Amino acid sequence: MRRTLTIGAVVAVSIAALAAQGKPQTSKGLQMTPTSVEITDQSSLRDCPPGTNTVHAMARAGERMANVTVAFKVLPSFKPGPLKRPAVMSTDGKTYNTSVQFVDVGSVPEFSCTFAFRVPEGTMLKSMTIEDATLDLSGLSK
Amino acid sequence: MEIDRRAFIASLGGAAVVAGMDHEAKAEALEHYMEDQLDAQVAANSGQADKFPTVAEIEAQIETRDFRRGAGSLFVSNRGNVKKLAPMPDKPTLKDFFELRFQPANHVLQSATRAMKTGMSEEIILACLLHDVVLNLIKPDHGWWGAQMIEPYVPEKTAFAVRYHQTLRFYPDPEAGYEYPDQYYRIFGHDYQPPKYIEDTYKWLKNHKWYMEPRLVTVNDLYAFDPNAKVSLEPFMDIVGRHFKQPKEGLGFDNSPSAHMWRTMMHPDNPL
């Protein structure tokens, strides 16, 4: 009985965790799943996959840093090459760019990156574009 | 300062990674680790995690040193006495300078590696490779000095990018992927305002058709030392061969307007 309850609880937690993630999208041999959106005053700008460069960006008055974390899987069809920096669109239709850059994608099979966007205070994110994929952020934006 | 050996090794990725590092890389990693620890201690003592010094606090440090911050790194050592330098060949090449005077050159090699991986043009990759080598000679106004030193030998766009990356580093451009580095709050002071000539240069650059050349150097400039990165000059030798006009007399002996700068780096122990 206790075992059934434990398994049930684990399944429920896993379903809840999956529901909290966005839907995976695939583009150019990369599977991408948005996993969280966090609003902060300061962000660490690491290259993607996390590696060489780190700069901290600090929000100025009236701004916040919106940090979107995306999990990546490199599929066999992926061809190494430069990728454009992602952009996010807010619910009011504005587009914001990030200073986080893709560097050496494909060097590891799975990785997770956080892309920081400088946005006006109160901005709600709707979606993120990476190459020709659009990731839905509406369920993750708080 | 006491160093927690285990924590230091763990911060580098473990004993295996450390075993693969040469002495220079280990020394540099240790120096960065100590700087970080010192910053953390200063922040903890002041009760503010993100407290950066003011311009006045940085100025107050001047008379606590026996050297000026602007001296080129060939001329001062922050790890004990300076060492005797290996002699240069009679007709030195850029490769000789990298191997005998610019070592370990991690910063510029990592920057150029990143530029290559992010698909920059060869002129920009070369600019990234050369953008800070003049810091071995002198630090203030390193963009202008650096460009002047390489100008006779590189494409015009490369020299332009090196000259003006210094200015653009003070001005964030999130559209282009460049944020003001927090390291600058630390080394210039959080209330630092660039001087008028930098502001004027920035205004002029903003509307210049080559604005993106120096901007891309700033985008690929690295602010964090990565001890795990394996970098060498080798991947850039083709680009150097195509775009760097190596004088047949050797750098320093070709009577170019910047030959004396290369000679000074060859012989930094000369008294006059």
| H-run or E-run covering B57 | helix B55-60
pLDDT in tens, A68-118: 999 999 999 999 888 999 999 999 999 999 999 898 898 899 999 999 999
**What are the residues whose beta carbons fall under 8 Å from the beta carbon of A18, sequence distance 6 or more?**
none
Crossing angle of helices B259-266 and B142-150, in 10° steps, is 100
pLDDT in tens, B83-119: 999 999 999 999 999 999 999 899 999 999 999 988 9
Long-range contacts of B19-22 (CB under 8 A, 24+ apart): B21/B227, B22/B104
**Tokens standing for residue B272:** 């006059």
Question: What is the pLDDT, as a whole number, of residue B192?
Answer: 93
Instruction: Give the C-alpha separation, B8 to B10, whole Å.
Output: 5
Question: Per the CB < 8 Å rule, is A99 touching B181?
Answer: no
Whole-number Cα distances in Å, B14 to A7, B1, B19, B54, B154: 37, 22, 9, 36, 41
* CB nearest A52 (choices: B110, B179, B180): B110
Query: Percent of chain A scored above 90 by pLDDT?
Result: 58
Residues of B in CB contact (< 8 Å) with A are: 50, 110, 113-114, 117-119, 174-175, 177-183, 219, 222-224, 226, 229
**Helix, strand, or coil (residue A98):** strand
Compute how many other C-beta atoms are within 10 angstroms of the C-beta atom of residue A99.
23
Matching residue, tokens 């590092």: B21
- Best mutation target among B50, B118, B175, B228 (most A Cβ atoms within 10 Å) is B118
- Map out the domains of chain A with their CATH numbers: 23-136 (2.60.40)
B195-222: average pLDDT: 96
Residue B96 burial by Cβ neighbours in a 10 Å radius (0-12, 13-18, 19+): middle
Radius of gyration for chain B, computed over Cα atoms and rounded to the nearest angstrom: 19
Which amino acid does the sequence have at B70? G
**Helix, strand, or coil (residue B223):** coil
**Tokens standing for residue A10:** 């684990």
Question: What is the pLDDT, as a whole number, of residue B45?
Answer: 43
Instruction: Give the C-alpha separation, B70 to B68, whole Å.
Output: 5
A32-51: average pLDDT: 91
What average pLDDT is seen over chain B? 86
Long-range contacts of A32-35 (CB under 8 A, 24+ apart): A32/A70, A32/A71, A32/A72, A32/A130, A32/A133, A32/A135, A33/A70, A33/A71, A33/A135, A34/A68, A34/A69, A34/A70, A34/A128, A34/A135, A34/A136, A34/A137, A34/A140, A35/A69, A35/A70, A35/A71, A35/A112, A35/A140
Q: What letter does residue B9 receive in the DSSP assignment? A: H
pTM for the structure as a whole: 0.80
- Residue A46, min C-alpha distance to chain B (Å): 10
**Helix, strand, or coil (residue A45):** strand
Q: How confident is the model at residue B21 (pLDDT cuts 50, 70, 90)?
A: low
* CB nearest B177 (choices: A54, A58, A85): A85
CA angle B205, B208, B210 (to 5 degrees): 100
Comparing B13-17, B179-183, B209-213, the range with the smallest average pLDDT is: B13-17
Instruction: Give the C-alpha separation, B156 to B253, whole Å.
Output: 22
